[in-house]
């Protein structure tokens, strides 16, 4: 396996240290075996998330000084507005403090009790916000998304017959206020959605007058995969492909902490003034005035630059090759990972890695604990603890179909050598997997549905 060399050099250094074995054991107990409760100083390589953890460029740091901190109508707002018009083609937008704020504003403004929200797959906070609106998400992703070992180019695609069947309910038995497609599909392994599939979703939703939203947190990585894998797009730049993806959507929600390369920020962008004004009241109530939405003017400046940097071809080629490099090293070591490797993370099939630990004992989270123990590396379990469903009618618990352990790679922050260290540690855990006897049990849960993994206290069984 090989990765492209880093297309940047390091200007400022953040020292890291490997904590001792004793420190790690103490930290595990103190965190109640929950990676979200670890102190970052006790972590060597932090692959908990690729969200807000990337490195800004020198152009972004320089732009902070241009921040206009006016309450209303700041220059920084108009700089960002122009960028979004030029890059994505949306005439209207609302800044938000991060992606889940965009989800809150969208779902609390547009969804009502009993509504259905068809998606490819919802990520954790998206799902929790749909529940908060007393609506129900419906996964319409293609079947291959649930088959980690099946190598297919666009495992984030929407199954159009599932979507069509869902849409047929509107407005008779269930109201559908919007359809949302996540690019790339985080819950299903950072897998891309093809341009052809996005266009087909747009045709279906437009025919019924239902708005199509994209959750576009990882839109640039999705565009890169389209360039590499969709024959009709081979000769287009990632920026051109991105624009074609956006042309399918009526609106987008974005966690700008991912592809747009900032440490904090989010937005909703839309085509019509009508939608803008539907979302404006809750933005003012919960985020801030319409021209800053919970961010500082300097944040808006850094974001305007990050949005342009995210479609740089060399940056994207390295980014995706670094993640794939880690995945290929793991495959070479015999570790069962979700194939093909996604855009922002390597997802280990924890069910296949620890087949002797039942899913209700949280194998993905057991793997988190063991990898931290092995090499002070922090990943995140995305399995039963994060995604268990309660049937709205029977109240019965339903385990999710995927039990994944995610190693998310922050952007421009770690080197290819770090990836080799991660692979070595995962391989060491894999070697001793049969001796991992204990599962985990939940001793304290979240009172709010969908948030267990963030706050749970766990104990070895
Ligand atoms: N949508 C997707 C697809 C996400 O992956 C996330 C966050 C959000 C929305 C919410 O955005 O964090 O800015 O509020 N995902 C992070 C992760 C946290 O680790 O994958 P946010």
Domain extents in the chain:
21-50+312-460, 58-309
Q: Is the CB of 182 under 6 A from ligand 1?
A: yes
Are 275 and 92 within 8 A, CB to CB?
Answer: yes
Picking from 423, 403, 221, 232, the residue whose alpha carbon sits closest to that of residue 319 is 221
Separation of 438 CA from ligand 1 center, angstroms?
A: 30
Q: Is the CB of 120 under 6 A from ligand 1?
A: no
Helix (H) or strand (E) holding 160: helix 160-167
Separation of 338 CA from ligand 1 center, angstroms?
A: 20
Ligand 1 pocket test, pick from 214, 217, 344, 406 with the greatest ligand atom count within 8 Å of Cβ, gives: 217
Q: Is the CB of 51 under 6 A from ligand 1?
A: yes
Rounded Cα gap, residues 367 and 351, in angstroms:
10
Separation of 266 CA from ligand 1 center, angstroms?
A: 10
Rounded Cα gap, residues 383 and 94, in angstroms:
33
Evaluate whether the domain defined by 58-309 bears CATH number 3.90.320.10. no
Q: Is the CB of 266 under 6 A from ligand 1?
A: yes
Residues 6+ apart with CB under 8 A from 282: 104, 105, 108, 109
User: How many angstroms separate the Cα of 443 from the Cα of each of 32, 35, 360?
Assistant: 9, 15, 13
Picking from 221, 268, 255, 259, the residue whose alpha carbon sits closest to that of residue 124 is 255
Q: Is the CB of 99 under 6 A from ligand 1?
A: yes
- Altogether, the residues listed in the chain come to a count of 461
Q: Is the CB of 148 under 6 A from ligand 1?
A: no
Q: HSE-up of 424 (CA within 13 Å, CB side)?
A: 9
Q: What is the pLDDT of residue 352?
A: 98
Rounded Cα gap, residues 262 and 309, in angstroms:
11
Separation of 192 CA from ligand 1 center, angstroms?
A: 16
- The tokens describing 299, both together, are 């944040």
Q: What is the pLDDT of residue 243?
A: 98
Q: Which atom of ligand 1 is nearest to the CA of 49?
A: 19
Picking from 245, 208, 218, the residue whose alpha carbon sits closest to that of residue 116 is 208
Rounded Cα gap, residues 267 and 398, in angstroms:
33
Q: What is the pLDDT of residue 450?
A: 83
pLDDT block averages, 10 residues each, the chain of length 461: 95 96 98 97 98 98 98 98 98 98 98 98 94 96 97 98 97 96 97 98 98 98 98 98 98 98 98 98 98 98 98 98 98 98 98 97 98 98 91 83 97 98 98 97 87 92 95
Q: Is the CB of 347 under 6 A from ligand 1?
A: no
Q: What is the CA radius of gyration of the chain?
A: 21
Q: Which atom of ligand 1 is nearest to the CA of 100?
A: 14
Task: For residue 280, count CB atoms less than 10 angstroms from its CB and return exposed for 0-12, middle for 13-18, buried for 19 or more.
Answer: middle
Q: What is the pLDDT of residue 446?
A: 85
Ligand 1, atom 4: closest residue by C-alpha? 123
Separation of 138 CA from ligand 1 center, angstroms?
A: 18
Catalytically annotated residues: 71, 123-124, 215, 217, 258, 453
Evaluate whether the domain defined by 21-50+312-460 bears CATH number 3.90.1150.10. yes
Residue 454 CA from chain centroid, whole number: 15
Q: What is the pLDDT of residue 449?
A: 79
């Amino acid at each position: 396996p090989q990765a492209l060399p880093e297309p940047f050099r390091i200007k400022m250094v953040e020292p890291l240290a490997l904590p001792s074995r004793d420190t790690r054991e103490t930290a595990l107990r103190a965190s109640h075996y929950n990676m979200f409760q670890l102190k970052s100083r006790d972590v060597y390589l932090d692959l908990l998330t690729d969200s807000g953890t990337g490195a800004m460029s020198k152009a972004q740091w320089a732009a902070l000084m241009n921040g206009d901190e006016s309450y209303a109508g700041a220059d920084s707002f108009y700089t960002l507005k122009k960028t979004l018009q030029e890059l994505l083609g949306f005439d209207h937008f609302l800044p938000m403090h991060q992606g889940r704020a965009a989800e809150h504003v969208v779902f609390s403004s547009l969804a009502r009790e009993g509504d259905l929200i068809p998606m490819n797959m919802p990520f954790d906070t998206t799902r929790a916000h749909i529940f908060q609106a007393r609506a129900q998400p419906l996964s319409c992703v293609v079947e291959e998304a649930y088959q980690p070992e099946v190598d297919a180019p666009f495992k984030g695609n929407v199954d159009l017959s599932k979507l069509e069947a869902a849409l047929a309910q509107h407005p008779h038995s269930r109201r559908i206020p919007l359809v949302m497609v996540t690019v790339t599909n985080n819950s299903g392994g950072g897998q891309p959605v093809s341009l052809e599939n996005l266009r087909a979703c747009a045709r279906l939703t437009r025919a019924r007058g239902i708005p199509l939203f994209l959750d576009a947190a990882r839109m640039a990585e999705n565009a890169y995969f389209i360039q590499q894998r969709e024959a009709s797009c081979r000769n287009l730049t990632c920026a051109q492909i991105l624009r074609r993806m956006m042309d399918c959507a009526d609106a987008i929600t974005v966690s700008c902490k991912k592809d747009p390369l900032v440490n904090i920020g989010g937005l909703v962008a839309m085509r019509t003034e009508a939608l803008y004004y539907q979302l404006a009241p809750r933005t003012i109530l919960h985020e801030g005035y319409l021209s800053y939405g919970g961010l500082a003017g300097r944040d808006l400046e850094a974001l305007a630059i990050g949005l342009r940097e995210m479609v740089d071809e060399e940056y994207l080629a390295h980014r995706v090759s670094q993640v794939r490099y880690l995945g290929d090293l793991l495959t070479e070591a015999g570790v069962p990972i979700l194939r093909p490797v996604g855009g922002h993370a390597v997802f280990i099939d924890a069910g296949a890695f620890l087949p002797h630990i039942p899913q209700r004992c949280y194998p993905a989270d057991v793997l988190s604990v063991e990898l931290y123990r092995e090499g002070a590396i922090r990943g995140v379990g995305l399995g039963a603890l994060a995604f268990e469903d309660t049937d709205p009618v029977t109240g019965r618990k339903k385990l999710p179909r995927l039990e994944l352990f995610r190693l998310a790679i922050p952007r421009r922050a770690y080197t290819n050598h770090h990836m080799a260290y991660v692979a070595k540690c995962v391989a060491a855990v894999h070697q001793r997997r049969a001796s991992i006897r204990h599962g985990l049990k939940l001793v304290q849960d979240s009172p709010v549905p969908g948030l267990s993994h963030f706050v749970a206290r766990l104990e070895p069984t």
